[in-house]
Structure 1
């Protein structure tokens, strides 16, 4: 029993440290994305709730090997409703596919590298200068697969809308203002507001 508790505590500390580091990486990326849009460096992070107030969660995905992979998907096509997903993939087994020009393209993982999927909330804030990535997961006939998906999201009660600085007469707002909580409820009951693929 003591060994199990020690292992659990060790795992808890490891996940806590991993989470802290991935949130820092997310914050750095948000600064880069903001500058790239011509906005103040902290604009996107502040729109998400500010440092220490963003919504974040870790999901560990396990995909067992499947003798008939053509008959099933690991995860069906979707775009992530939040801000961005920092995915640490299984380096040995590909499974993530993104939709590009109506074709599914397999993403080949690189050693010690994250895959960053932009989500719906960055599409809204950027007024579609950034596009949410439509993706799916396929399974493998011979190998199981594990991935760590860290969701970097806005706080649920903050209104999200296209940045005023990006709105002009020729470039009106493309999306209505709503909180992340309202958006999640909307897509569960009515489906997505737009097609996120590029």
Structure 2
């Protein structure tokens, strides 16, 4: 279970949609840090610079692979089904460790808000069993570009686990943009639209947080893990709302929510060859820190 050190901190985390999570002992992040510092450099920089040349055509999905986005960000994004064949073993292992951690956090939240365990698998599109859709992203922010780091948005999935050691992430609370502290001993966890929809009718609704990355004056790198309802081709698990007293109600398709939200974030990107790719629609010290995650 998640230990926030008190119900006040827990309630604030659920209401705000963001909190700091102490990195569990045994979950190494050094390989991810190295990948995030190198992936955009090109093949001359070993061992990870070569990923700059791997674009969406390798995966048949316009969002995946290397992209220079419309803001300062350039990114390497990959879905779990491609991790073992495209990533080095240490990066695949990192992704799987984050998938396990995401499941622990998710199940703790579902228990706390009062959704019956029998409904968890359908409610989360498999995420409660580590059978959802997962993406691992590595980000680099280019200070030479005079633009915002990343435009304001909400994530579409259940939760995002972010690793960053430099300031830049901001969240919107009570109509004010506030900086999130960058603690090297903690992940930043934020909730997405799928969690907000699912828990809206529960005894303790969880908010999806609006967030952005401020304009960066120096090189900044980060990596993150996204957990979403299962949406492999032909296997759309759907997005559900839990209604106390009547159970789960289907709201929309998983891919429908993802495509619409991703279009708002990524409409217009540069492919590795420099051509444009348009995606079709379809207060810092108050952030609570969990002390540990236990099975």
Question: Is the counterpart of residue 181 in structure 1 residue 265 in structure 2?
Answer: no
Report deviation, 1:53. Answer: 1.7
Determine the C-alpha separation between the residues in 2 that align with 1:188 and 1:117. 17
Contact 1:31 1:45 in 2 (8 A): no
CA distance in 1 between counterparts of 2:173 and 2:238 reads: 30
Match 2:93 to one of 13, 17, 25: 17
The answer on 1:153 being equivalent to 2:235 is no
4+ residue segments displaced more than 6 Å: 188-191
How far residue 179 of structure 1 moved from its aligned partner, in angstroms, is 1.4
TM-score, scaled relative to structure 1: 0.76
Secondary structure of 2:139's aligned partner: strand
The DSSP-based 3-state class of the residue aligned with 1:116 is strand
Q: What RMSD in Å do the two structures reach over aligned CA positions? A: 3.0
Unpaired runs of 5+ residues, structure 2, are 1-43, 49-84, 266-295
Listed as ranges, the matches of 1:1-198 within 5 Å are 7=47, 12-41=88-117, 43-50=119-126, 51-66=129-144, 72-89=147-164, 91=165, 93-127=166-200, 129-141=205-217, 143-156=218-231, 157-165=236-244, 177-187=251-261
Offset at residue 166 of structure 1 (A):
6.4
Q: Structure 2: how far apart are the matches of 1:14 and 1:189?
A: 31
The one-character-per-residue Cα deviations of 1:101-138 (angstroms, maximum 9, x if unpaired) are 11100111112211011000000110161110100001
Change (3 A) 1:66 1:188: closer
Q: Which TM-score applies when normalising by structure 2?
A: 0.53
Q: How many residues align?
A: 175
> SS at 2:157's partner residue?
coil
For structure 1, the residue ranges without an aligned partner over 5 or more in a row are 192-198
